[in-house]
Structure 1
Amino acid sequence: MKAQTKPSIFWAGIFLLVVPGLIHAYLLMPFPGSQDLNAITVCYYLEKLVMPLRIIGAIIVIYYFFKYLLKNSITGKIAKLLVFVLCLVSFYFTDVMFKAESMFEEPQTIKFSNAIYNKVPESMVVIGVVNNGIAKAYPLVYLGYHHKIQDNVGNEPVLVTYCTMCRTGRVYSPVVNGKRQNFRLVGARHYNAIIEDAATKTWWYQATGNAAVGELKGEHLAELPYEQSTLGAWLNKHPASLILQPDVHYLSDYNDLKNYDRLQSVDKDSVLKNKDSLVRKSWMVGIIINGQAKAYDWRQLDKKRLVNDQVNHTPLLIALEHDSLTYHAFNSTVKGKALHFKLDTAGTITDQETASVWNWDGLSTAGTLKGSQLNKIQAYQEYWHSWKHFHPNTLFWKD
């Protein structure tokens, strides 16, 4: 019977129809164990092969149906037809349910309002970008769902990104090889979003801007400066800022991220008794000075507010405002001299060397150094496991 029905032909076709797509979906989504594999190159080329292999598989199955299906028993016919239908159902899971572009859609409308007409609560955390005198704020809750907003700030193109799996934002120039590119969300590797530019089909890590695989492998997207703070703190500095408003098509998706911008995993973990324990999803503030990375434990920062430090011979001030959400990093050198800062019980920041008063934006507002401005250093909030993975030689500060 088996010799007459040739079941191996049928199963070979089913294998090609289903298995490559399932492997591809598994590797690009955070399923157990999938993100720990070094498989981005496999994912890249497998994506190009999935559809051709499906076509071959479909041809084989159709050939089998015409040639051998009638030779099967009634039970065999029903079983094979059911298997084929299940294969088609599996496409929903691999191509829709677990496909990044379907799970996290592009915004349908990108609308900004000024502070007067703004509907975003000032307590929400935003990524703020300033260019050519124009300021814009992008709430994390909206970015967290969409993963990226392709926009212009001050007549310059920007790619504002955020990955909830590693809890970090980056702002890049979307100009590749002299031309502005559209980017699509591919999926994730090592719990970090992967994006692809339309022209070269290169895959880029969101957390670093590095081209991991493709035509431009080894190159980097140009990073643009940004700040992460509450909207209220941002508007205090940039009262004319425009604020990204929620896209009404995705209100339920935004609601799924409610309180994402303010609660740590350890705070919600009833099993973990010591909330200061360092875990995979502990929040960090990360900086990179002349190639040397360093991470600062968020909970300890929240207790101290100000940290005087030095990395690669560069004096630093790391500051976390009283809202416990707005953070800063500065080069603490002024007029060639390293300053050391303290915060008194009244909330006033002064330097120990001159007793000048400073605000949270690094500007001296009173004293000998009045008018002096600390130079800002780009800093990132990120989960510990992500920062450590992408910066394996990182230093670590914990009070």
Structure 2
Amino acid sequence: MNERLRSQRIVLWGVGHTNAHVLRMWGLQPFPDTELVCVSNFPKATYSGMLPGVLAGQYPASAIEIDLVGLCQQNGAQLIVEEVTGINLAERSLQFRERPPLPFDALSVGIGSVPTTSGVLFAPQAQVLQLKPMQTLSTRLQQTLSAVAANRPASPLRIAIVGGGAAGVEVALCLRRYVKKTFETFAEVCLVHAGEEVLPGVTTGLRQRVQRELDRSGILVHTGRRVVSVEVEYLHCDDGYTIEADVVLWAAGAVGPSILSQLGLPTEERGFLQTDSTLSVCGHPGVFAVGDSGTIQNTTMAKAGVYAVREGPVLWNNLFCHLTGTSMRRYVPQHSFMKLLNFGDGRAAGEWRGFSFEGKWVWWLKNWIDTAFMKKFRVADT
């Protein structure tokens, strides 16, 4: 392969919603004399919005996976599957555990967020599963539940989900179907949330609809209780209450992956990179932080995939502007967006502009939106 070396290099660290848009656009209109390199810990990406549907048996696991190897090949980009250990800001290069540094002219950091476990003590033998990385969740979940089920052949599996946001609620509603189908046994599922109400930030109407569905499904909801320690078969809360659980799924809050605070770049109190409205990391031209990984100064927007999707075209534009020395575009977050929650039985609930709704048609709408999004990143058959 004697392809002439490109004079400029864009590096996408993480291939989530925003960076994936750049990769897709690269296949349609690559920048002249520039190469695109994607860096990921895994050879595939996982679309979190459809994960509850996998648990409910509505999709195969493959339906929510993006083949990064094939997608990069299809769009003329290079893929490096390797763990990043840092950034050399002086040399403008990405550092790896087991390969030489990778110089860049522009870098977009999009490695997402992780659930917060700050202040929580975990016993070494406790069966605790973080929802992320989602690329390995199906395998980790099956292995863990298999081991627990083998030790409780005549008893239901007791599963506690910590975190009452959208992810925790959807997983709670869909998980019992997964257990019944996979292990032919029953699961007792409870939801533990530190706030006074589940689903903070949604309308009262949607919260009431979801609460009715949780009640109908037999899912016990503990609100106003913060988990302070997890032992084998027990969770201990800050009010002294103890919850029995064989397996704990952790979906509480969102903080920046620890690596973000080790880069020498400005971060906010939760550990996310601080950016301006162009998605550029403050004080570091040519370094961008997108999706959950970045927090725009003077904004209060939640960490939600819809924002990451909308950032895609802005990042695409601003990468080009940085390389060519032209004025960048500002990203202006929308004030509201449609929220849709999967009930796991062919129904869903949602809200839009203050109105809440539920039914089979809502599931159809959610399925249409999700599958249309995934089609954008389908690798063409060869």
Shorter chain as denominator, the TM-score bin is: under 0.3
Structure 1 length as normaliser, TM-score? 0.26
- Greater RCO, CA 8 A, separation 6+: 2
Structure 2 length as normaliser, TM-score? 0.26
